[in-house]
Amino acid sequence: MTTPRAIQIDLGATPYYHCITRCVRRSFLCGEDYETGKNYNHRKHWIVSRIKYLSSIFPIKICAYAVMDNHYHLVLFVDIKECCSITNEEVFKRWSKLCPNSASKYEKMKLYEPALNQKIMQWRDRLMDVSWYMKFLNEHIARLSNKEDNCKGRFWESRFKSQALLDEGAILGAMVYVDLNPIRAGTAKTPESSKFTSIYERIKYIATQMNAQSPQNIPSSSNEMADICDELSQPLSLMAFANHANAETSDMPLINFKLSDYLQLVDATGRILRDDKCGKIPSHCLDIFDRLNLTTEGWVEMVKGLEQKFFFAVGDPELLSAFGFSARMSSPKGITVAKRCYLSNVA
């Protein structure tokens, strides 16, 4: 039986969610249709542009993304504090960008304050609703694709899949899982070559700054780049990591890790996941696993099986059980894997 979205997404439990949407058609969403010879890679630009546009309107930040040939992944953070702090006028301005027809309703309701306040409250709730974010994303892409293909009908396989990320280990695991999707699929060999991912965007943004400062000394890999990136700025379209340069001064929510640690962790995990490259977790990254309460074996298992071995939530077994209880599930899928992943549950 399908689980209601209201149960799968509970902002009281966590503001972080991993979302996946797959294409229904035989032809790929963005890749090459080998039967017709058509290439649809330009649609990847559509998706990346659209998620950035929506995140400039919704108080929902992009932690990670990856656009593949027939599906895409997002790791999102719902900034409840921002949504509650913006004025009613700002709520209207943002919503009118999504639904221009709302402007006429707004002017009419100004004459009747109770109705106006009720409508503003509804719009505010929708602005921090992951389902509405995904609706405006998927519907827009489907319309563009159907128009280009001169056809009608369903474009997406079904409603989007979501996973609640209940702790730091789950958040970081989902981000690495998403950023390494092209490497796991065999379409890229390194993070810095995996286009249409957040890790690619972060690396290119840093490389641009390094090129401006010292064109002769640009690191060739994400691992080398990690040593000197913490003092540089980060892409505005992505949720930033808590580096030395912004950890104390930023009023914006930050991912509670250094970007250098994340780049090295992605690079090391990507080598482990590839059959043709021998890799291991660097010794300094072991401190991260201690902080996350994860084993190195559990980390690899989580990153490999985030979709297959977990259902609509990922995290520590106790948090997973509590989330499952609120969703009226006695034993949520993934609890057995979670017990193997987290140190407190390892004998």
**Which of 117-126, 154-163, 239-248 is least confident?**
239-248
pLDDT-based confidence at residue 56 (cuts at 50, 70, 90): very high
Residues 190 and 269 in one domain: yes
End-to-end CA distance of the chain: 35
Query: Has residue 79 got a pLDDT over 90?
Result: yes
Residues 28 and 93 in one domain: no
Rounded to an integer, the average pLDDT of 191-208 is 91
Rounded to an integer, the average pLDDT of 36-41 is 81
Query: Has residue 41 got a pLDDT over 70?
Result: yes
Residues 71 and 109 in one domain: no
Residues 34 and 59 in one domain: yes
Using a pLDDT cut of 90, give the percent of the chain over it.
37
Residues 285 and 306 in one domain: yes
**Which of 182-196, 206-220, 275-289, 327-341 is least confident?**
275-289
Point out the domain boundary residue: 70, 99, 127: 127
pLDDT, tens digit, for every residue of 240-281? 998 756 555 667 889 988 888 898 889 888 888 765 555 566
Domain assignment present for 197 = yes
Mean pLDDT over all residues of the chain? 83
Q: Domain residues for 321?
A: 16-79+130-345
pLDDT given at position 345: 59
Query: Has residue 290 got a pLDDT over 90?
Result: no
pLDDT, tens digit, for every residue of 5-34? 666 788 889 999 999 999 886 556 777 777
Domain assignment present for 4 = no
Q: How far apart (Å, rounded) are the C-alpha atoms in residues 338 and 298? A: 8
Provide the phi-psi class of 153: left if phi over 0, else alpha when psi is between -120 and 50, else beta: left
Domain count, the chain: 2
Rounded to an integer, the average pLDDT of 107-115 is 65
pLDDT given at position 331: 66
Residues 69 and 112 in one domain: no
pLDDT given at position 1: 46
pLDDT-based confidence at residue 186 (cuts at 50, 70, 90): confident
Domain assignment present for 1 = no
Residues 109 and 198 in one domain: no
Residues 105 and 179 in one domain: no
Query: Has residue 112 got a pLDDT over 50?
Result: yes
- CATH code, 280: 3.30.70.1290
pLDDT given at position 110: 62
Domain assignment present for 289 = yes
pLDDT given at position 130: 96
